[in-house]
Amino acid sequence: MTPSSLAINGGTPVRTKPWHESNAIGVEEQKAAERVLKSRYLSLFHGTHRPRPPFSFFGGPEVQNLERQAREQLGVSHVVSVNSATSGLFSAIGALGIGFGDEVIVSPYTMSACAMAPLVYGAIPIFADVERATGCLDPASIREKITERTKTILVVHQFGIPADMDVICAIAREHKLSIVEDCAQAWGATYKGKTVGTMGDIGVYSFNVHKTIDCGEGGLCITNNDELALRLQLIRNHGESVMGDAGYENGTNIVGFNYRLTEVQAAIAVEQLKKLESLNAERLALVETLSDGLRKHHCLITPDPPAERRATYYVYPLRYLAEHCGGTPRSEFARMLLAEGISFVEGYTKPLYLLPLFQKRLAYKHGYPWNATENKASKPNYQQGSCINAEKLHREEMLLNLYICPPQTEEDMHDIVKAVDKIIAACS
């Protein structure tokens, strides 16, 4: 294979067919939505401690059915639905009583809501580095970042790959820290047979349109702790107005939010939950085909987490090592792939501490919460170079493929492999 054969140089591309977004919405979801529309009640929440329908503090029949179905499927005592996983993360940090004077260890290499959740309550996000092999928090870096102010570790099961939960849980026990598990990208993933989200104090899932299963927007918080479940419910639904009638006295962080899920979303989400196992099986088959085809190349590191970490792959994270591909920069490699009809995203996300909000340390007026008296002793490091693995993944190595999902087929995965083979041969 010569450089002149590459599509970027005028050669014939491997693929001209379009790629397709994941969309598991079908007749079942349509019927569920129609059922709700016929009822004429699109939401049945009430911002008082009214326990009985039709209007209730706990939501309507569709919301309560979703929570019941999720409890059984995930094997937990409590499920509290919310209108997004972002709201779920905010609720989780609030339910744990985190606030001014506290620090929360978070990942720099994930969606921004994880770092925003502590800030909502005046706590300081402390960024620990990630494992280059998985993108998940590195337990060794977590341990380095713990201070006497640390209260919680917010673990992200990045790309659908479980974090190293045995070690992280041991660190949390040693330092008496709580754990929030962000499972937004990890529906169905397990660690040593345990479902992600069930090993910490609170797990958070997403029904966002980009996730494996979706109802447009939406999420779930799961816990086995009775009081945390009540606090999650209060934060979700105007708890400041409900505490008195509910007979609950700890008002810390129980203020003014409306994170309620609608009846239509809940009805659709139930149908999506039914499809989770089959959709994950299809994803895993496509990932296996792709990895089998790419593993032979020294310049590529396919996602192969340890066997005890059963991943479900929200996206396909591929690491590219330019030094083993004739020094071809990642950006040029990605451009050559795109010319062949294959799209990879470079880098995923800039490390969160490099965002203007953290560089300026300005979330609220007067530089709060960093300038708050209670937080003056915190010394967060938001400088470039503070999380070298996250920065290397972002700037040099990470390539993400978004199309390892139905309706793509194994033939589509073979197209990716053919294009990569063609480019690497030409660059060697």
- Residue 394 has a CB neighbour count (10 Å cut-off) of 19
pLDDT of residue 273: 97
Q: What is the pLDDT of residues 293-335, one digit of tens each?
A: 999 999 999 999 999 999 999 999 999 999 999 999 999 999 9
Calculate mean pLDDT across residues 155-159: 98
Give the per-residue pLDDT at 23.
83
pLDDT of residue 54: 80
Q: What is the mean pLDDT of the chain?
A: 96
Predicted pLDDT at 182: 98
Mean pLDDT of the 222-230 span: 98
Q: What is the pLDDT of residues 237-257, one digit of tens each?
A: 999 999 999 999 999 999 879
pLDDT at res. 1: 66
pLDDT at 172: 98
| Percentage helix, strand, coil for the chain under 3-state DSSP, each rounded to 5 | 40, 15, 45
pLDDT, position 9: 95
pLDDT tens, position by position, 173-217:
999 999 999 999 999 999 999 999 999 999 999 999 989 999 999
Return the C-alpha torsion angle 86, 211, 221, 126, nearest 10.
Answer: -50
Contact (CB, 8 A) for 66 and 269: yes
Per cent of the chain over pLDDT 90 is 95
* Band of pLDDT at residue 290, cut at 50, 70 and 90: very high
Q: HEC profile for 109-164?
A: CCCCHHHHHHHHCCCEEEECCECCCCCCECHHHHHHHCCCCEEEEEEECHHHCCCC
Fold classification of 27-272 (topology level): Aspartate Aminotransferase; domain 2 (3.40.640)
CA angle 323, 327, 333 (to 5 degrees): 105
pTM of the model as a whole: 0.96
3-state secondary structure 58-123: CCCHHHHHHHHHHHHHHCCCEEEEECCHHHHHHHHHHHCCCCCCCEEEECCCCCCHHHHHHHHCCC
How much is the pLDDT for 51?
A: 75
Encode pLDDT of 355-392 as tens digits: 999 999 999 999 999 999 999 999 999 999 999 999 99
Domain locations in the chain as residue ranges: 27-272
Assess whether pLDDT exceeds 80 at residue 428.
Answer: no
